[in-house]
Amino acid sequence: MGFFPSQLTRASLSSSLARRLRRPHPAAAAASAARSLTTTEGSRPSIVHKRSVDILHDPWFNKGTAFTVTERDRLDLRGLLPPNVMNSEQQIERFMFDLKRLEVNARDGARDTNSLAKWRILNRLHDRNEIMYYKVLSENIEEYAPIVYTPTVGLVCQNYSGLFRRPRGMYFSAEDRGEMMSMVYNWPADQVDMIVVTDGSRILGLGDLGIQGIGIAIGKLDLYVAAAGINPHRVLPVMIDVGTNNEKLLKDPLYLGLQQERLDGEEYLSVIDEFMRAVFTRWPNVIVQFEDFQSKWAFKLLQRYRNTYRMFNDDVQGTAGVAIAGLLGAVRAQGRPMIDFPKQKIVVAGAGSAGIGVLNAARKTMARLLGNNESAFESARSQFWVVDALGLITEDRSDIDPEALPFARKVREADRQGLREGANLVEVVKKVKPDVLLGLSAVGGLFSNEVLEALKDSTSTRPAIFAMSNPTKNAECTPEQAFTILGDHIIFASGSPFKNVDLEDGKIGHCNQGNNMYLFPGIGLGTLLSGARIISDGMLQAAAECLAAYMKEEEVLRGVIYPSISSIRDITKEVAAAVVKEAVEEDLAEGYRSMDARELKRLSQEEIVKYVQNNMWNPVYPTLVYKND
Ligand X SMILES: NC(=O)C1=CN([C@@H]2O[C@H](COP(=O)(O)OP(=O)(O)OC[C@H]3O[C@@H](n4cnc5c(N)ncnc54)[C@H](O)[C@@H]3O)[C@@H](O)[C@H]2O)C=CC1
- Min dist CB 169 to Mg ion, Å, is 16
Which residue of 334, 516, 536, 615 would you call a contact of ligand CC(=O)C(=O)O, by CB under 6 A? 516
Count of residues that bind ligand CC(=O)C(=O)O according to CB under 6 A: 9
Sign of the dihedral through C-alpha 589, 590, 592, 596 = positive
- Min dist CB 320 to ligand CC(=O)C(=O)O, Å, is 12
Sign of the dihedral through C-alpha 9, 11, 14, 20 = negative
Nearer to ligand CC(=O)C(=O)O, 151 or 329 (CB): 151
- Min dist CB 442 to ligand X, Å, is 3
Q: Within positions 312 to 331, which residues make up the interface with ligand CC(=O)C(=O)O, using CB under 6 A? A: 314-315
Cβ neighbors of 51 (< 8 A, separation 6 or more) are: 75, 76
Q: Within positions 137 to 156, which residues make up the interface with ligand CC(=O)C(=O)O, using CB under 6 A? A: 150
Select from 368, 283, 287 the least CA-distant residue to 324.
Answer: 368
Window contacting Mg ion (CB under 5 A); options: 105-113, 314-322, 423-431, 595-603: 314-322
Q: Is 315 annotated as a binding residue?
A: yes
**Residues paired with 295 in a beta bridge:** none
Could you give the 3-state DSSP secondary structure of residue 357? helix
Candidates 133, 134, 220, 305; catalytic one: 220
Residues 296, 383, 318: CA angle, nearest 5 degrees = 45
Which residue of 315, 476, 545, 582 would you call a contact of Mg ion, by CB under 5 A? 315
Q: Give, as one character, the DSSP assignment of residue 604.
A: -
- Min dist CB 603 to ligand CC(=O)C(=O)O, Å, is 32
Nearer to ligand CC(=O)C(=O)O, 1 or 316 (CB): 316
182: part of which helix (H) or strand (E)?
helix 180-183
Contact status, residue 530 vs residue 579, Cβ threshold 8 Å: yes
- Min dist CB 150 to ligand CC(=O)C(=O)O, Å, is 6
Name which of ligand CC(=O)C(=O)O, ligand X, Mg ion, none residue 481 binds, using a CB cut-off of 5 to 8 Å depending on partner kind. none
Could you give the 3-state DSSP secondary structure of residue 174? helix
353: part of which helix (H) or strand (E)?
helix 353-369
Contact status, residue 468 vs residue 489, Cβ threshold 8 Å: no
> What are the CA-CA distances from residue 330 to residues 249, 295, 338, 463 (Å)?
42, 27, 9, 8
Give the CB-side neighbour count of residue 452, counting CA atoms within 13 A: 23
Q: Is 307 annotated as a binding residue?
A: no
Sign of the dihedral through C-alpha 131, 136, 142, 146 = negative
Nearer to ligand X, 205 or 479 (CB): 205
**Residues paired with 511 in a beta bridge:** 492
Nearer to ligand X, 334 or 353 (CB): 353
In the bound complex, which residue of the shown chain has the CB atom lying closest to ligand CC(=O)C(=O)O?
470
Q: Is 515 annotated as a binding residue?
A: yes
Cα 171 to chain center, whole Å?
Answer: 17
Contact status, residue 195 vs residue 184, Cβ threshold 8 Å: no
Q: According to the binding rule CB under 6 A, does residue 515 interact with ligand CC(=O)C(=O)O?
A: yes
309 catalytic? Reply is no
Q: Within positions 173 to 232, which residues make up the interface with ligand CC(=O)C(=O)O, using CB under 6 A? A: 204
220 catalytic? Reply is yes
Nearer to Mg ion, 319 or 481 (CB): 319
Which residue of 98, 292, 421, 427 would you call a contact of Mg ion, by CB under 5 A? 292
Q: According to the binding rule CB under 5 A, does residue 199 interact with Mg ion?
A: no
- Min dist CB 207 to ligand X, Å, is 8
Q: Binding pattern to ligand CC(=O)C(=O)O, positions 25-54, x when CB under 6 A? A: ------------------------------
Which residues are near ligand X by CB under 6 A? 202, 204-205, 295, 315, 319, 322, 349-355, 387-389, 440-443, 446, 468-470, 474, 495, 514-516
- Min dist CB 134 to ligand X, Å, is 23
Name which of Mg ion, ligand X, ligand CC(=O)C(=O)O, none residue 351 binds, using a CB cut-off of 5 to 8 Å depending on partner kind. ligand X
Candidates 134, 149, 171, 224; catalytic one: 149
User: What totals of helices (H) and strands (E) does the chain contain, helices first?
Assistant: 28, 16
**Residues paired with 288 in a beta bridge:** 195, 311
Give the CB-side neighbour count of residue 27, counting CA atoms within 13 A: 0
Give buried/exposed letters for 189-222 (b at 16+ CB in 10 A, else e): beebbbbbbbbbbbbbbbebbbbbbbbbbbbbbb
Name which of ligand X, Mg ion, ligand CC(=O)C(=O)O, none residue 244 binds, using a CB cut-off of 5 to 8 Å depending on partner kind. none
Q: Dmax over Cα atoms in the chain, in whole Å?
A: 94
Nearer to ligand X, 136 or 429 (CB): 429
- Min dist CB 562 to ligand X, Å, is 11
Distance CA 429, CA 413 (A): 15
* Plot region of 178 (φ>0 → left; ψ -120 to 50 → alpha; else → beta): left
Nearer to ligand CC(=O)C(=O)O, 222 or 292 (CB): 292
Select from 270, 272, 51 the least CA-distant residue to 172.
Answer: 272
Q: According to the binding rule CB under 6 A, does residue 292 interact with ligand CC(=O)C(=O)O?
A: yes
Distance CA 447, CA 329 (A): 21
Pairing of β 311-313 and β 287-290? parallel
Name which of ligand CC(=O)C(=O)O, ligand X, Mg ion, none residue 446 binds, using a CB cut-off of 5 to 8 Å depending on partner kind. ligand X
List, in sequence order, the alpha helices (H) in 468-519.
Answer: 479-486
User: Rounded to the nearest 10 degrees, what angle do helices 88-105 and 115-128 cross at?
Assistant: 130
453: part of which helix (H) or strand (E)?
helix 449-454
| Residues of this chain that bind Mg ion (CB under 5 A) | 292, 315
Annotated binding site: 202, 291-292, 315, 470, 515
| Residues of this chain that bind ligand CC(=O)C(=O)O (CB under 6 A) | 150, 204, 292, 314-315, 470, 495, 515-516
Task: Write out the catalytic residue numbers.
Answer: 149, 220
Annotated binding site for a divalent metal cation: 291-292, 315
